[in-house]
Chains A and B, each alone.
Chain A
Amino acid sequence: MTVPAIGRIIPIARTSSVWILAVARLQLAWRAFLFVSNCPINLDDRRGLVTQNLHHHTFDNGLTLLAEPMRGVESAAFTILMPAGAIYDPQDRFGLAGFTCEMTLRGCGSRDARKFIDDLETLGVEHGEGVSDSHTSFGGATLAENIPAALEIFADLVRRPHLPEDKIEPSRQVMFQELRGIEDDPAQKAMQELKRRHLPSPFGKPASGDVESVTKIQIDDVRKFYENSYRPNGCLIGFAGRIDWDETLKLVEKLFGDWQPGPERSVVSQSRIGGYANLPYDSNQTQVSLAYPSVPYAHEDYYRASASVGVLSSGMSARLFTEVREKRGLCYSVYASYHSLKKTGSVFCYAGTSADRAQETLDVTIQELERLSEGIEDDELDRLKARVRSALVMQQESTSARTAAIVRDWYFLNRIRSLEEIESRLEALTRDDINDYVAKHPAQDFTVVTLGPSPLEVNLGVSASEA
C-alpha cells in the first residue's frame, strides 16, 4: 500500500498503532499530535448541516439497527458492535475476547479464511476489528453499492464463524506478537497500565491479555466464549452514507432476524486500584499519565464535564498545550481526553518528556488540572463552542465517523441525539454553568502511572505560584 498519505487514517486489522506512526513518519513529521477524543461533544451549525434522517429499529431478538442516510457521498460505512468485550474474559483466560475476535477472521459461512479476505478485497472494503472493555467491534467502509455484499460476509462472520481448531496456534502467535509489540511501545504501555489501575475491574483490563493466560487458551474456550457473547441482544449495527433505510432494514432483517438471543449476563464491578505506580523502563523519555473521575456519557452533567476537558485540551490554545508545551517547552505531546463507561466517566491525561524534566511536567500538569476548579474564562468557552461546531460539520464529510457517532449514542443513551438537540444543549452552556460544575467536581482522586527510569513524586495541592 502507499505510505499513509498525509492525514490518512487506515482502519487497522492486526497492525499495532505504533507501526502506523512509524510508517507515517517515514514521510513526514507533524507539528502536533492531536488527540481525537472518542466521545466528542457533537454540535450543530445550521449553516453547515443538512437535515439529518435518522432511523432505528429494534428486532424481536434484541438486535438494534441504526442508520443515517447521507446525501452528497458515494460511500457508506457500517459498524457492528457485539457485546463481547474483554470484561467477559474468564478470570484465568485474559485475552479470550481478543483471541476469539482473531479466530472469527479465519473462515465463516461458505468461505475459508482466504476467501473471506479475498472477497472483502474485491469489494474494496476497508475493514477493521477491535476489542474494547464492553464490545468486540467490526467496521467497514466502501462504495455504497458494495455494502450489501459486505454485510452478508460480516453476517457470516458473527453468526457462522468456523473457529477452526487448526488455527488456534497461529492465532495464539498473533496474540503473542501483539503482547511483545506493546512492550516496545512505552506510551501505549503506560496508558494501558493507567486504565487498568484507574477503572473498576473487570473494566480497564487490556484486551490483549497476558502471556500466561493466552498460553492456556484452547479451542473449547474460544467456542464457549463465542456461544456466550456473540448474540443479537445487545448487538448494535449502524450504517451511514448513501443508503436507503427500507432496503437496509430488509437486508438486516434477512441476515439477522432469525438469530436467537442469548441469556442475560451480568458483570460485577470491583473496586479500582488507583494510587501511584512507576513502571521501570529503559528509555529516553518518561511517560507521565494520570486519570481522575468524571461523570458518564448519559449523565445530565455530561456537557459541562466534557466542556471542562475541552478547556484543558481541545485545540492548541487549550490550557495543557499552552502551559506544558508552548510556555515551558516540556514536551512534544500532551493531552487530556474524556472517556466513558456506562456508569463511570474519567479523564485521562498524557505527557511524554525527558526523564530529567518529568517531575516538572507532572507538577505542572497536576497544577493545571487542579486550577480548573477555579473557573474558566468566557473566551475559553467561546473558542470551545466554535471548535465543536465546526468539528461536527466536518464529521459529516465522513461516513465512518457518522456511523461511529450514532452507534455510540445508542449504546450510552438508547437513542440518537438530533443535531438540533446537541446544538441547543451546547449553546445554552454558560461560563457560570461550567464554573459551577468544576467547583463541585474538582480534579482529584488521581490515579497516576509513570513509565521510566525512576519514580516521581505526586505533589497535590501546590499552586503554580508556590511551585
Chain B
Amino acid sequence: MEFRQAKLDNGLEIVAECNPDARVTALGFFVKTGSRDETPELAGVSHFLEHMAFKGTAKRSAEQVNREFDAMGAENNAFTSKETTAYWASVLPDYTEPTVDILADIMRPALRSEDFETEKQVIIEEIKMYEDQPPFGADEKCEELHFGQHPLAYNVLGSVNSIQQLRVEQMREYFENRYSPNNITLVAAGQVDFDRLVEMTDARCGNWSPFETSRHVVTPPRHPGFHRLQKETSAQQYTVQLSDAPGAENEERFAADLVSTILGDSSGSRLYWKLIDSGEAEHAGLYFVEYQGGGIFWTMLSCDPEKATDNLRLLRSTYEEAEQDGLTEIEHAQAKSKTKARLVLAGERSRRRLFAVGSHWIARETYFNVRQELDQVDAVTLDDINHVLRKYPLTQATTVTIGPVAFNEPE
C-alpha cells in the first residue's frame, strides 16, 4: 500500500492509495464546494450543479455520458454534502483512462438551458421525496435554528422555492467561482498506476485555468432551545437534537466518534439499552459529523407519540449521567473493537477507501492508511472521551420535535 501525490501546474491535486493487490480501480474528482459555500439566493445550487454535470458537455450528450459509464461496467454516482461535491466511478483497472476521460469531461459541463429546466423537475421531485419521509423536515429546521445565520444552516438540496427561482446564469456563475482546478482533487484508490494517472489527468485537465476560491470558515454559534412542529398525519413522533462537537481540524474528533458509538450506536449503546431493547422507541441514535470550524452531534429519536415525553426525559438523563459520571473502561474497549472491525471491513473495498482517502484529504490534506486509522482509534483514552463529553455537552442542544402530539419540553 503506497500513498502518492502530485500537483498539476494549475493547482489540481492528484492523490492515490495504490494497492497492487486490488482488482478494482476507484476514481473520483472531489471538489471543495457544497451548500456552505452558497448564499440564500443560491440555496441548492451545488447539488443541482452536480446533477447537471451528467447532462452533457461540449463533447458528449447526457445519453453518451451515461452510456459510456455503463459500457465500461462502471459503478458510478455523485454526491453533494455541505462541504464537498464528488463525482466517482469504480471500474476494472483496464478502464482507468476512459474513466478519467469522462470524469474530467463532466467537470466542465455544458450547463445547457433546456437540460437545466428538465433537471430542475428531478431536483424538485427529490426534495418532495424527502419531505414525505421522516423526520419530515425537522432535521432541516433544527439546523436552521441551531446555526442561525451561519452557512452550515443551509441544507444541501435547497427548497422547492429556491430551486424554482434559480436561473441557469446563476449556476454558471457559481461554477465559474468554485470549480477552479486548485479547488479540485482527483482521488484514486485500489489498483493505480500513479505516474500514468498523472499523465492522463494532465492531458485532460492541465489546460483548466485557475482562479481564486475561498471558503469563509468561522466557528458556528449555537442557539439551544426547544421547538415543536405539528404533523397530524404522522404515525410516530420524531425528535432531532443538534449540539456542538469537535471540528474537522480538531484531534478531539476521534474521541467524539467513540462518544457517539458508546452512547448512541445502533447496537449495544446506552441509548440502545434504555430505549430500543425495551421497545420504548423505534430508533434512538447519536451521530457525529465533522465540519471545518466545528462539528456537530446529532441525536435522532422516533417513537410512539404517547411515549415521546417520557423518552425525551430518558434521553436527557442518559446524557446527564454520561456527562457527570463519565463513560466506563468496558464501554471504551467495546467501542474500540467495534470501530476497528468496521474500519478493517470497509478497508477491503476500493470504493470505500476512495471515500475515506478523499474525505480526509479534502478536510485536512492528510492521508492515513487503514493501519494508521486503527492506531488513531487505539490512541484514544477514556480521559479523552470523558473530556469531550464535558467540553461539548450533549445536554445543551437545539431540539426540534415533529409529530401528532403537542407537548412542551419535559422538566
Hey, which bits of chain A sit against chain B, CB under 8 A?
A: 1-3, 5-8, 10, 12-16, 18-19, 21-23, 25-32, 34, 45, 47-49, 72-75, 113-114, 117-118, 120-127, 141-143, 146, 169-174, 176-178, 180-181, 183-187, 282-285, 314-318, 321-322, 325-333, 352-354, 379, 382-383, 386-391, 393-394, 396-400
Residues of A within 8 A of B22 (CB): 397
- What distance in Å separates the Cβ of A228 from its nearest Cβ neighbour in chain B? 25
- What distance in Å separates the Cβ of A122 from its nearest Cβ neighbour in chain B? 5
> B122 and A22: CB pair below 8 A?
no
- What distance in Å separates the Cβ of A74 from its nearest Cβ neighbour in chain B? 5
Q: Which of B254-288 contact A (CB under 8 A)?
A: 257, 260-261, 264-269, 272-273, 276-283, 285-288
Bound Cα distance from A10 to B287, whole angstroms: 13
Bound Cα distance from A173 to B236, whole angstroms: 13
> A172 and B337: CB pair below 8 A?
no
- Give the total of B residues in contact with A, Cβ under 8 Å: 105
> A126 and B70: CB pair below 8 A?
no
Other-chain contact of B72, A3, A31, A72, A390 (Cβ < 8 Å):
A390
> B341 and A184: CB pair below 8 A?
no
> B73 and A387: CB pair below 8 A?
yes
> A47 and B79: CB pair below 8 A?
no
> B338 and A177: CB pair below 8 A?
no
> B77 and A31: CB pair below 8 A?
yes
Bound Cα distance from A327 to B269, whole angstroms: 47
Interface centre among A18, A21, A184, by most chain B C-beta atoms within 10 angstroms, is: A184
> A353 and B338: CB pair below 8 A?
no
Stretch at the interface among B166-174, B177-185, B348-356: B348-356
> B282 and A30: CB pair below 8 A?
no
Between-chain CB contacts (< 8 Å), 21 pairs: A1-B287, A1-B288, A2-B257, A14-B266, A15-B266, A29-B126, A124-B341, A143-B344, A181-B302, A183-B236, A316-B76, A317-B67, A317-B71, A318-B70, A326-B62, A329-B120, A330-B121, A354-B128, A386-B72, A393-B24, A393-B92
Residues of A within 8 A of B342 (CB): 124, 126
> B334 and A121: CB pair below 8 A?
yes
Bound Cα distance from A328 to B128, whole angstroms: 17
Residue ID in chain B nearest A25 by CB atoms: B130
> B266 and A12: CB pair below 8 A?
yes
Residue ID in chain B nearest A394 by CB atoms: B24
> A32 and B77: CB pair below 8 A?
yes
Other-chain contact of A141, B76, B133, B303, B345 (Cβ < 8 Å):
B345
Bound Cα distance from A187 to B131, whole angstroms: 12
Residue ID in chain A nearest B287 by CB atoms: A3
> B344 and A172: CB pair below 8 A?
no
Bound Cα distance from A321 to B217, whole angstroms: 39
Bound Cα distance from A177 to B304, whole angstroms: 7
> A353 and B125: CB pair below 8 A?
yes
Bound Cα distance from A15 to B272, whole angstroms: 11
> B80 and A29: CB pair below 8 A?
yes
**B289 within 8 Å of A (CB atoms):** yes
Bound Cα distance from A3 to B304, whole angstroms: 24
Residue ID in chain B nearest A31 by CB atoms: B78
Bound Cα distance from A426 to B84, whole angstroms: 39
Other-chain contact of A390, B91, B260, B267, B341 (Cβ < 8 Å):
B91
Bound Cα distance from A353 to B124, whole angstroms: 10
**B81 within 8 Å of A (CB atoms):** yes
Residues of B within 8 A of A176 (CB): 279, 304
Bound Cα distance from A11 to B268, whole angstroms: 14
> A184 and B334: CB pair below 8 A?
no
**B69 within 8 Å of A (CB atoms):** yes
Stretch at the interface among B46-54, B195-203, B204-212, B379-387: B46-54
> A28 and B257: CB pair below 8 A?
no
Residue ID in chain A nearest B337 by CB atoms: A124
Bound Cα distance from A315 to B81, whole angstroms: 23
Known: A180-B235, A315-B69. A1 touches B81 (CB 8 A): no
Bound Cα distance from A124 to B268, whole angstroms: 11
**B66 within 8 Å of A (CB atoms):** yes
> A397 and B24: CB pair below 8 A?
yes
Residue ID in chain A nearest B125 by CB atoms: A332
Known interface pairs A2-B261, A31-B54; 15 further A-B residue pairs with C-beta atoms within 8 A, sorted by A's residue number: A3-B289, A14-B276, A19-B302, A28-B84, A29-B47, A121-B268, A122-B337, A143-B341, A169-B279, A174-B276, A177-B303, A315-B70, A329-B121, A389-B92, A396-B23
Residue ID in chain B nearest A355 by CB atoms: B128
Binary contact track B50-68/A, C-beta < 8 Å → 1, others 0: 1100100000001100110
> A21 and B133: CB pair below 8 A?
yes
> B63 and A317: CB pair below 8 A?
yes
Bound Cα distance from A116 to B387, whole angstroms: 30
Residues of B within 8 A of A32 (CB): 77
> B79 and A6: CB pair below 8 A?
yes
**B90 within 8 Å of A (CB atoms):** yes
> A34 and B62: CB pair below 8 A?
no
Residues of B within 8 A of A1 (CB): 257, 260-261, 264-266, 269, 285-288
Known: A121-B338, A398-B349. A19 touches B304 (CB 8 A): no
Other-chain contact of A28, B73, B156, B280, B303 (Cβ < 8 Å):
B156
Bound Cα distance from A379 to B350, whole angstroms: 28
Other-chain contact of A30, B66, B78, B277, B281 (Cβ < 8 Å):
B78
